[in-house]
C-alpha cells in the first residue's frame, strides 16, 4: 500500500506547471507541507492554472461547495483532461492528510522523500483500478466499523451516491438504518460503540483539521485500534474520499430514485451491486 501511495505521488496531471499549482494550493489550503513539485511558478500564471488552482482550493477546503460555475469552468478549460487533473488534485489533497494522520498516530512515514517522476501513467486509472480495491481488500477492521467510517465520509463530502449505498457484510454484522442515522450526530448516539465514536472523531479530524489532529483523538485511536487497524482506518478514509472526485465533477448521482442500494465488496476488493433495500 505504501508503494502505491509513493507511486501516486510520482504521477502527474500531464502538465508539470499544473501539478505545481495544484500541490502548492492544496498544501496551503490544508496548512500542511505540499507534495513535491518539479517546477517553480515564478512567471505569470496562465488562465488554465488559475482555474485549476481555484478548483483545487475548493476541493481541499470543502468539495461539497464546488458550484456549477466553477465546475463548468474547470471542465471547459481542461476538456478531456478533466478527470485526470481532478485525480491529481485528489492525490495532492489527500496524501498530505494521510501523512499527517500517520504522524499523529506514530505510524511512521507512508511516503518516502525520493520521487521517481512518472509523467505517463494516469493517476485516475491507478486510483480506480488499483488503490481503491487494494484498500478494500484490507480486513483488520470489522465490516461494520468500515461502513460507519465510509458513511461519515459520505456525509462530510455530501456524496449523494455514497449516502445511498449500504454494504452487505456490514448489514449482516449488525448495521441498520437506525444505527446509521446516528452517524450524523454520533457523539450523542446510544447505538454506536465507543470504538465507532473514536474512529469517527479521527475521520472528522482528517477531513476538517488535518494540520491539527487533536492529541486526544490520536490517543483514542491508539487505545482502541491495533497498528494494522489504524493503518487501515487511515487508508479507508482516503479510499472513501475518492468520492470527492465525483462530487467535484457533479457525477455523484445515486443509482436509485429512493431508498438505498445494497452492495458487497468481494474478495478482490471490487464493488458488486446487489439489490435495493
| Residue 219: CATH number of its domain | 1.20.1290.10
- Distance CA(24)–CA(35), nearest Å, equals 8
pTM for this prediction:
0.94
Neighbour tally for 226: CB within 10 Å:
11
Residues 6 and 97 in one domain: yes
Residues 266 and 149 in one domain: yes
Q: What are the tens digits of pLDDT across the range 205-253?
A: 999 999 999 999 999 999 999 999 999 999 999 999 999 999 999 999 9
Domain termination residue (choose one: 84, 115, 132): 132
Confidence band of 277 (pLDDT split at 50, 70, 90): very low
Backbone angles phi, psi at 166, to 5 degrees: -135, 125
Domain termination residue (choose one: 85, 107, 132): 132
Q: What are the tens digits of pLDDT across the range 193-217?
A: 999 999 999 999 999 999 999 999 9
Q: What are the tens digits of pLDDT across the range 73-89?
A: 999 999 999 999 999 99
Residues 59 and 145 in one domain: no
Residues 241 and 163 in one domain: yes
Q: Which of 131, 51, 122, 135 is nearest to 87 (CA)?
A: 122
- Distance CA(195)–CA(215), nearest Å, equals 16
Residues 181 and 238 in one domain: yes
C-alpha grid cell for residue 62? 470543502
Residues 127 and 145 in one domain: no
Residues 261 and 214 in one domain: yes
Mean pLDDT, residues 163-175:
96
Q: What does the pLDDT read at residue 44?
A: 62
Q: What does the pLDDT read at residue 86?
A: 98
Residues 191 and 224 in one domain: yes
Contact 109, 102 (CB under 8 A): yes
Say how many domains are in the chain.
2
Residue 98 has pLDDT above 80, yes or no: yes
Question: What is the extent of the structural domain holding 147?
Answer: 139-276
Residues 203 and 80 in one domain: no
Strands of 123-204, DSSP E = 165-167
Amino acid at each position: 500500500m505504501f508503494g502505491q501511495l509513493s507511486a501516486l505521488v510520482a504521477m502527474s496531471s500531464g502538465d508539470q506547471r499544473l501539478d505545481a499549482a495544484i500541490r502548492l494550493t492544496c498544501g496551503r489550503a490544508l496548512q500542511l507541507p505540499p507534495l513535491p513539485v518539479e517546477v517553480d511558478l515564478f512567471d505569470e500564471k496562465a488562465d488554465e492554472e488559475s482555474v485549476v488552482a481555484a478548483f483545487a482550493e475548493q476541493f481541499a477546503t470543502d468539495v461539497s461547495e464546488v458550484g456549477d460555475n466553477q465546475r463548468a469552468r474547470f471542465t471547459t478549460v481542461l476538456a478531456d483532461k478533466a478527470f485526470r487533473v481532478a485525480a491529481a488534485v485528489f492525490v495532492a489533497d489527500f496524501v498530505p492528510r494521510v501523512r499527517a494522520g500517520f504522524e499523529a498516530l506514530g505510524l511512521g512515514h507512508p511516503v518516502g522523500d525520493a520521487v521517481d517522476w512518472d509523467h505517463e501513467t494516469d493517476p485516475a486509472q491507478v486510483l480506480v483500478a488499483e488503490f481503491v480495491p487494494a484498500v478494500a481488500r484490507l480486513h483488520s477492521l470489522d465490516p461494520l466499523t468500515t461502513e460507519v467510517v465510509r458513511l461519515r465520509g459520505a456525509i462530510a463530502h455530501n456524496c449523494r451516491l455514497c449516502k445511498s449505498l449500504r454494504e452487505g457484510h456490514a448489514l449482516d454484522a449488525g448495521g441498520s438504518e437506525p444505527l446509521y442515522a446516528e452517524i450524523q450526530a454520533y457523539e450523542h448516539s446510544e447505538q454506536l460503540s465507543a470504538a465507532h465514536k473514536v474512529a469517527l472523531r479521527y475521520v472528522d479530524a482528517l477531513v476538517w483539521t488535518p494540520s491539527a489532529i487533536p492529541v486526544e483523538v490520536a490517543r483514542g485511536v491508539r487505545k482502541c485500534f491495533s497498528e494494522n487497524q489504524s493503518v487501515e482506518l487511515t487508508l479507508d478514509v482516503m479510499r472513501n474520499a475518492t468520492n470527492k472526485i465525483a462530487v467535484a465533477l457533479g457525477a455523484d448521482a445515486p443509482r436509485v430514485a429512493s431508498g438505498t442500494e445494497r452492495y458487497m465488496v468481494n474478495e478482490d476488493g471490487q464493488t458488486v451491486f446487489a439489490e435495493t433495500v
